[in-house]
Each structure stands twice: as C-alpha cells, then as structure tokens.
C-alpha cells in the first residue's frame, strides 16, 4: 500500500535517514521504535509526504506520493501528530469534523456522509459523551482521543500515530492501543505508530521497525527485533528479554544498573 524505496533525508545538510526501504501493508500494525532523535518523526513525515526526501521514492498505491494532491493523500492516510495545536474554544464535534476537510469542496460544507463519518469516529473512540465540550476543558487523554477521532473521520486506509500514548495514564494508553489494534483487525487498516514503550510495542504491534544511526537496524516481528543484541546497539543498554506469562508477549527489562536483578536470581543468570 505504501512503499519507501532507498530513502535518504536530511535537515540543512545534516543527514537524518539513509537507505530506508519499507513496505507498509494493510491489516498490519507497525511500531516504529528507536532512541530519541533517531529520526522516527522524520520517517513518518516522509511517509505522509509532509517532508520530501533527498533521494529515493515514496510510492502510495503504486504512484509517487508527490504526484498526489494533498487532499487526495489525506483521503488515504491520516496522521495523529506528536503534538497538535487545536484552537481551545472549539468543541469536540468541531475538531472531529475537521477530519472531513479532504472530502469537502467548500470549508465546513458537510454532507450527510460527512456527519455519519464524524459520528462513527466519535463512537469508535468512545467520545460521544464529550461531543459538545470545549477542547480546553478536556484531560490530556480525552484530547488525544479527540485527535484520533479527527484522524478516523478522514476514513483513512493508513493511520499514522506519533507517540500517541506519551504522557497518558495506563488506562488511556491501553484504550488507544486496543482501538488501533481493533481498526487493523476489524477494518483492515494499516497502522504505523511511533512508540517508546517496548513492552506495549511487543504486545500490540505485528511488526517493529527499529531505527538506529540513520538506518533501519532491523525490522520484523517483535521476536526478531527485540533481542538484547539489537537493543544494546540501538539504545546502549543491557537488557533481558523474556515472555510475560500473562500476555504471552515479549517483555524487556533494562539491566543497566546492577541492582536491577534480584539477589536470589543473580547466581542463576550469572550476573
Ligand atoms: N525541523 C527540523 N530542523 C532541523 N533539524 C531537525 C528538525 N526536525 C528534527 N530535526 C533533527 O533531526 C533528528 C531526528 O529528529 P526526529 O525525527 O524528530 O527524531 P525522533 O522522532 O526519533 O525523536 C534530530 O537530531 C532532530 O534534532
Ligand atoms: Mg519524534
């Protein structure tokens, strides 16, 4: 659905990404991981055509992304940015309705179909009850759900989210991850999420893309990507990777302090 072919990107001649090949398919949930400053946000911007690459090609449904009008891209891909400014006095419904702009000839000329998409987006994100509240009266978690609903109102085939769970409590984190996962499973969307929490990434994502030193260090299933060797290279820390007995997904424990391992198991793991 979306292909990156040998992409390189820079800011003011400082190289940020080099030789990136990527293939985003429908019905898969991708997690982009890697240290701060690794280029995760830049990669999302390249994927959505917000930033042009220095070299290489971005193909959306087989066609070069810069050949699409911006509104046409927005009908296929929706973005939940790392931080988004929303005019404080707008209501939740106003903000979610903004997601329909690619489909409208005139601004705010919404049709029945537009209204239906807005209602569905609010339903899916569970914010129906907030419809008439003003954005500045909401908690951080609720605000993020509104921004996600705005993206869903675009009825995208690919949903891109840049650290959507940062600064949220565990309940809201889970809600956003379950919702994204359901959109991928039930509606065949592709989701691409930048996420720092490796355990949540392992639990929810089908594929992980680990960025390090301008390149994709490794990508694949969480099992292939989350190895102590890869994590040592990318983050410079020692880790132990095991399986969580309850979720059956991988669990990463950072061992950079000697105290991280309990006395009773130190002999067993030769610490
Ligand atoms: N608009 C910009 N102008 C100049 N440098 C930038 C800009 N945006 C990001 N950078 C730099 O590019 C690098 C990668 O940034 P970013 O993609 O935001 O990383 P990440 O999202 O992985 O933390 C960082 O060194 C950052 O300082
Ligand atoms: Mg970022």
Digit-coded pLDDT (tens) for 132-147: 999 999 999 999 999 9
pLDDT band at 258 (very low <50, low <70, confident <90, very high): low
Rounded distance from Cα 270 to ligand 2 centre (Å): 37
Beta bridge partners of 219: 209
**Nearest residue (CA) to ligand 1, atom 10:** 11
Separation CA 68–CA 60 (nearest Å): 9
Which pLDDT does position 39 carry in this prediction? 97
Which pLDDT does position 145 carry in this prediction? 95
The share of the chain scoring above pLDDT 70, in percent, equals: 93
Higher pLDDT, 7 or 267: 7
Which pLDDT does position 83 carry in this prediction? 84
DSSP state at residue 97: H
Instruction: Return the C-alpha torsion angle 69, 64, 151, 172, nearest 10.
Output: -160
* Ligand 1 pocket at CB < 6 A: 11, 16, 34, 36-42
- Phi/psi at 77 (5° precision): -125, 135
Q: Can you tell me whether residue 204 is helix, strand or coil?
A: helix
DSSP state at residue 68: S
Q: Which of 7, 12, 41, 82 has the most ligand 1 atoms within 8 A of CB, as the residue to mutate? A: 41
**Predicted confidence (pLDDT) at residue 40 exceeds the cutoff of 80:** yes
Separation CA 30–CA 23 (nearest Å): 10
**Predicted confidence (pLDDT) at residue 271 exceeds the cutoff of 60:** no
**Nearest residue (CA) to ligand 1, atom 7:** 11
Separation CA 26–CA 15 (nearest Å): 30
Nearest ligand to residue 12 Cα: 1
Separation CA 146–CA 158 (nearest Å): 18
Separation CA 238–CA 123 (nearest Å): 43
What are the structure tokens assigned to 237, written together? 């820390």
């Amino acid at each position: 659905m979306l292909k990156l072919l040998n992409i390189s990107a820079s800011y003011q001649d400082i190289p940020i990404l080099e030789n990136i090949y990527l293939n985003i398919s429908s019905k898969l949930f991708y997690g982009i991981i890697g240290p701060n400053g690794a280029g995760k946000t830049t990669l999302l911007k390249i994927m959505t055509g917000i930033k042009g690459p220095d070299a290489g090609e971005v193909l959306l449904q087989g066609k070069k992304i810069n050949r699409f009008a911006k509104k046409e891209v927005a009908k296929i891909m929706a973005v939940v940015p790392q931080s988004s400014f929303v005019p404080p006095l707008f209501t939740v419904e106003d903000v979610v309705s903004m997601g329909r702009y690619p489909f409208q000839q005139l601004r705010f000329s919404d049709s029945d179909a537009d209204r239906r998409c807005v209602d569905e987006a609010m339903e899916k994100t569970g914010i129906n009850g907030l419809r008439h509240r003003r954005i500045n009266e909401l908690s951080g978690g609720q605000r993020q759900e509104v921004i996600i609903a705005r993206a869903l109102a675009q009825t995208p085939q690919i949903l891109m989210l840049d650290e959507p769970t940062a600064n949220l409590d565990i309940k809201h984190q889970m809600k956003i991850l379950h919702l994204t996962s359901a959109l991928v499973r039930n509606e065949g969307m592709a989701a691409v999420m930048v996420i720092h929490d490796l355990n949540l990434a392992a639990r929810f994502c089908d594929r992980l893309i680990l960025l390090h030193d301008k390149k994709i260090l490794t990508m694949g299933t969480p099992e292939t990507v989350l190895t102590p060797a890869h994590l040592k290279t990318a983050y410079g820390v020692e880790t132990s990777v095991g399986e969580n007995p309850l979720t059956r997904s991988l669990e990463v424990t950072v061992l950079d302090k000697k105290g991280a391992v309990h006395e009773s198991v130190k002999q067993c793991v030769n610490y």
